[in-house]
Amino acid sequence: MAIIDVHNHYYPPAYIDALRSGTSNVRITEDAEGNPWLHYPGDYNIAVRGHRDIAYRAHVLADLGVDTQVISLTTPGAHVESAATAARQASLVNDAFAKVVSDYKGRFAALATLPLNDPAASVRELERACKQLGMRGAMLFSNVNGVALADARYTQLYEAANSLDAVLHIHPTSPVGVEAMTDFWLMPLVGFLMDTTLAAAKLVFSGVPETFPRIHWVLSHLGGAIPYLAERLDRGFHAFKECRANIPRPPSEYLKKFYFDAVNFDRDALLLAIKFAGADHILAGSDYPHQIGSIPAMLESIRGLPISKSERAQILGENAARLFQLHE
């Protein structure tokens, strides 16, 4: 059965070079092993070899039996820059992604990077990525410099995504209330999951999936806490008129149509998500090559689930092949 990893990250070398140019809000240093460290407001990432050497990554995938990865950028994202720089960086990244997909036919697909601090430019880049570069959609961050994805300024982006039948994969970033998460790596361990949960809940209560039903939403890290909290969101719908202002149905009815990437390697958590949304809405994901990610853990957790062979095949690759229109 095909294995498709929908949650992993790649920094094109041209993007890292652009950050070094001096016109970026991201500062680059290097460690003793020569790995670039990307320092940006509130956090940093270490770009290990797998983040930036696509030929090396292709060998890793072959060795581990992964057929295809849907690559995306990760934090800091273009939106931490000025609007003009963000637009240039997004185009540069997407052109590099398209070349990877072309050079390694079948091994990689890609989600576009958008200059999210400029909604109009994001519309243009999404349309270019989908219509000219052959991508199925884009990765969004759970907030954009503190602005919610449900904010009205993104209506034009969702109109475009809806017309394109696009995939929008929500990935967390520096969360609201991050000042309480500065020790023990609490920002990625707790804050990321909460910010994804907040973004998804607010999008649904704001009526975005109701208004734009052709968008295919994907939530990172098994949706944060969405499968666990969905019943509480439904109680809010029935209890508070504000929660019914923009949607005619309980939020769980929308959220069950979202896709959830399986970057949570706990069997019981995976089973809860399957029970909530169905095996046909779970996607394999590894978070490779982050320190906290693991392709072997992804495979072991999914293969160890007490589910049918057909359900396992859906999660490992069939759902992603359908969603991203990947044909053998």
Residue 89's Cβ-count burial label (10 Å; 0-12, 13-18, 19+) is buried
Instruction: Write the CB contacts of 222 (distance below 8 Å, at least 6 apart in sequence).
Output: 260, 261, 262, 263, 264, 269, 270, 273
| DSSP secondary structure letter of residue 22 | S
Domains (range + CATH), the chain = 4-323 (3.20.20.140)
Tokens describing residue 208:
């975005």
Supply the Cα-derived Rg of the chain in whole angstroms. 19
pTM score, two decimals? 0.96
Q: In whole angstroms, how far apart are CA 98 and each of 15, 71, 143, 296?
A: 14, 10, 26, 27
pLDDT digits 0-9 by tens, 109-165 = 999 999 999 999 999 999 999 999 999 999 999 999 999 999 999 999 999 999 999
CA distance linking residue 37 with residue 198, whole number of Å: 29
Find the mean pLDDT for residues 278-297.
97
Instruction: Write the CB contacts of 288 (distance below 8 Å, at least 6 apart in sequence).
Output: 5, 8, 9, 50, 60, 69, 294, 295
Position 198 pLDDT exceeds 70: yes
Position 299 pLDDT exceeds 80: yes
**In sequence order, which ranges of 132-190 are alpha helices (DSSP H)?**
155-163, 186
